[in-house]
Amino acid sequence: MFKLRGELFGFGAVTLITLGFFSCNNFSNAVFGSHKVDSLVNKIEELIEDKPTLHSKWDSLRHNKIVFRVDSLNPVDIKTQKKNLRDSLRREFDKHPKHVYLTFDDGPLVGSRAIDSIARAKNIKVNTFVVGRHSTIGKYRLRDLNLYIENPLVAVYNHSYTHGYNRLGTFYADSIKAFEDFKKNESNIKMNSKVARLPGRNIWIYDNERRIDIPNAAPTADLLHKDGYKVFGWDVEWRLNSYSGEPNIPFETVYNRIVNYMNNKSSKEPNNVVFLMHDDMFQTKKGQKLLSDLIDKLLAKGYKFEFMEDYPIKY
């Protein structure tokens, strides 16, 4: 095991015991002789050049991979060293753009058409996690689904075909059947890419990340991931009453929550906040105005609106 010793942002000597790429396993297949030696040298150079990114430093801190020491060179206690490093990384992140992902679940429903119009009017990217069966219910739902598919500002992702008919315990009890329900949705609808959200579950599986809220849905999420899907949950949720447009938490509160997640780096990934809403929230003029106002405020803040397939944007 190699050890990399050095200063991170001037907060004393810090030993990074592992950042993933200084592992003996990297050399296990090396053969010493002829050109293999050259390739090994190249490999080592490649590894040395693979400098830690802001995100990998943040991950190392978050997963306690950084060993802090108190010694004569650095007599500051460990808690303060950690805090100083965290604050320093936060300030570094604040020099970069902030990314917000508006996600709308359960469409097409009454309200989807307004989301499509607002995305066009504001010229921002939005994400929809659609339920194919809903396009067969009601006169205009297939039209609404097609509005999404044809709008380049709307990404269309998989939220299962039936939504488990809202009996989620039963739905996830048979993970093969649940997985097939997602595949049915995939084959019926032209999706942007293999991105899914599980009905009623805040589950994340992507890259090397895996976070499960309710374990009974984990086998379904794992099957999707094995099939090439990225599975995403959310950081902040907002609900409006479908019929009155009345929010469950006030407009200012939800706006501040997004800003706080961004500032404190308390979202799943720093500088990337995933915001959950549902299509049926925007069937009233009141609901539509709240969405439009929220987007204006986030735009004024300088946040960038992104597609989930690009999540997370790293530095």
Residue (105 or 269) nearer to Zn ion, CB: 105
Binding mask 155-194 for Zn ion (x = CB under 5 A): ----------------------------------------
Stretch that binds Zn ion, among 100-108, 203-211, 235-243, 283-291 (CB under 5 A): 100-108
Binding mask 188-227 for Zn ion (x = CB under 5 A): -----------x----------------------------
Residue (59 or 105) nearer to Zn ion, CB: 105
Residue (168 or 294) nearer to Zn ion, CB: 168
For 31-166, strand residue ranges (E) read 66-68, 99-105, 126-130, 154-158
Q: How far is the CB of 196 from Zn ion (least distance, A)?
A: 11
Query: What tokens appear for 292 in the block?
Result: 């439009």
Residue (58 or 172) nearer to Zn ion, CB: 172
Residue (68 or 182) nearer to Zn ion, CB: 182
Q: How far is the CB of 199 from Zn ion (least distance, A)?
A: 4
How far is C-alpha 155 from the geometric centre of its chain's CA atoms?
A: 14
Restricted to residues 101-140, the positions that interact with Zn ion (CB under 5 A) are: 105-106
Per CB under 5 A, 237 contacts Zn ion:
no
Name the residue among 238, 206, 176, 209 with its Cα closest to residue 309. Answer: 206
Name the residue among 242, 222, 225, 240 with its Cα closest to residue 276. Answer: 240
Contact criterion met (CB below 8 Å) for 126 and 133: no
Residue (199 or 233) nearer to Zn ion, CB: 199
Binding mask 51-90 for Zn ion (x = CB under 5 A): ----------------------------------------
Alpha helices in 151-250 (DSSP H): 168-173, 175-188, 218-226
CA distances from 212 to 97, 102, 231, 304, 310 (A): 28, 21, 10, 27, 21
Strand partners, 103: 127, 276
- Spell out the residues 6+ positions from residue 106 whose beta carbon is closer than 8 angstroms to its own: 129, 130, 131, 134, 159, 163, 278, 279, 280
Residue numbers of the site for Zn ion (CB under 5 A)? Answer: 105-106, 199
